[in-house]
Amino acid sequence: KQLLKQDGYIFIECPNFNCLESKIFNNNWHHLDLPRHLFHFTNNGLKTLLLQSGFQIIRQDNVLALDYSIIGMLFSLVKKLKIKHLEILDNRHTHQDLIILLPFFICSFLLEVILYIFKQSPIQMIIAKKA
């Protein structure tokens, strides 16, 4: 809070730990992203933390982003289904692997749009103002 100017804004985008995707995939949920994400917040938890720290909430919403939401769902599906030869993070793909991933990508896209519509996106965004 001390780093912001008076009436300064803070923009936070992080995983939503209370989303349906987190509950379905558990330890296979890609957005756990350990050790980079040491703390995980629900929508209400992040809002409460900011309010208790003296911020005024300007906007809070879900985010639908290709690089986070959809790809995260794709990674989570592959991990959950234990498809070892399609480990996406290892960067050694064949064209066959990418073709096999296409239905998973389409499924991930559709699921993420549905989750976003029902306010269950795995990514949350909050804008707060220093009070």
Instruction: Give the pLDDT confidence of 50-101 residue by residue, as tens digits.
Output: 999 999 999 999 999 878 899 899 889 888 888 765 655 556 666 777 787 8
2 belongs to a structural domain: no
Kindly list the strands in the beta sheet with 55-63, ordered across the sheet, starting from the edge strand earlier in the chain.
9-15, 123-130, 55-63
pLDDT at residue 101 in the model:
82
Residue 52 lies in a domain: yes
89 is in which domain, residue-wise?
A: 9-130
In a domain, 3, yes or no: no
Q: Provide the domain count of the chain.
A: 1
Distance CA 65, CA 78 (A): 19
Structural domain contains residue 4: no
Residue 36 belongs to a domain: yes
Report residue 84 as tokens. 């070892």
Convert the pLDDT of each residue in 105-126 to its tens digit.
999 999 999 999 999 999 999 9
pTM: 0.81
* Cα separation, 20 vs 77, whole angstroms: 14
